[in-house]
Amino acid sequence: MAELDHLFVFVDRQEAAPGGGVFDRLAALGLEPSFTRRHVGQGTANLCYAFDNAYLELLYVVDAEELATSPLARAGFAARADWRRSGASPFGIACRGTLPGASWTYRNPDFPPGVSIDISAESDDPAMPFVFSSPGDAPPSAWTDGRAGKRQTAAGFTRIAIERLKLPALPAAGGALDGFHRTGLVKVLEIEAGEPDLLLALAPSRRLRLPSLTVL
């Protein structure tokens, strides 16, 4: 059964830096960044917060031209980055394990030799979340390369889970999102037009509303 590997949300670059609204809201909650990475050939970089089971990724554009020519153009990454104006979904959901439903393969130039990811065919619609398989096969609690740091133990948070996800339309039967819902990786699917909305549970006691990263 597929497990949550990580969840990303597109934010403005300055929002993910110290002094930015998103960074400071997470810091006020006691969350500390675990690692950052530049995605060569994709035009993006990230700031990631590791928990025991998965990690939260703030994704932002660093090279718009590179982003526009990336193989991820098929999945509307430029529109996703500009979600406030485009109406695309700013969310990405990555699983460990087999990705349900039809998919296509993507290889980033920064990946190690022989490593690729499967991307759900549903992600061809930028109004739907970007759903894919992770090349990783272990949760942050089992990483041995130091990327996870101390995770979020100082703040008292252990796990993250997708409590509720709003979609503009029913997901395809047998597809990735349908499979995630059936297995509980996404607990509740809410079908409603309007602003993107995802409720992320921080075990044991708090929640974050994405894409604003508002603490509940």
CATH code, 185: 3.10.180
Within-domain flag for 184 = yes
Residue 174 has pLDDT above 90, yes or no: yes
Domain-embedded: residue 144 = no
**Across residues 165-178, what is the average pLDDT?**
96
- What pTM was estimated for this model as a whole? 0.96
> Alpha-carbon distance 161 to 112, whole Å?
28
Burial of 104 per CB tally in 10 Å (0-12, 13-18, 19+):
middle
Dihedral sign (CA 174, 178, 181, 26): positive
Q: Is residue 110 over pLDDT 80?
A: no
pLDDT of residue 77: 94
Helices (H), the chain: 21-28, 64-68, 77-81, 83-86, 176-183
Q: Considering the domain boundaries, does residue 46 fall inside one? A: yes
Query: What is the spatial distance between Cα 197 and Cα 205, in angstroms, rounded to a whole number?
Result: 20
Contact between residue 37 and residue 144 where contact means Cβ atoms under 8 Å apart: no
* Domain with 109 in it: 3-137+153-215
